[in-house]
Amino acid sequence: MKALIQRVKKASVSIDGQLYSQIGAGMLVFLGVTKDDTPQNSEKLAQKLLNLRIFEDENEKMNLSIKDVKGEILVVSQFTLCADCKKGTRPSFDGAAAPENAAVLYEDFVNCISSSGTNVKTGKFRAMMEVSLINDGPVTFLVEK
């Protein structure tokens, strides 16, 4: 499981030109699910992100978590994070989970975040989405579990 995390001032997802979901300050999480992932990976990754200290404290040091700042999380499925670009010029998606399995693990991940009390919004699984954001920093991390 791979998560590309961006600390944002705000972010939103639109589908077919219509606003689908949006958040204020917090994290935009692009989530890729591999065929080797399990529900335990969802839980571990969710806990990692909830406790990852990427928000600045009063001394401008990254020392606070999403829970500390009471931020929001927008989770967007993105199977292209599982692409292998090592050979040739066309990405291979052999490592990505089948859509049926990925959908279950995506929902597990979202539920783990939600059960923490953190406000979480989502994109729509397997939809063509337009994602808008204002990156705060910019601050971007790739986390794998």
Catalogue the active-site residues.
78-80
CB environment 47-57: b (16+ within 10 A), e (fewer)? eebbebebbbe
Cα separation, 140 vs 36, whole angstroms: 25
* Cα atoms in the Cβ-side hemisphere of radius 13 Å centred on 82: 20
Residue 117 phi, psi dihedral angles, 5° rounding: 95, -5
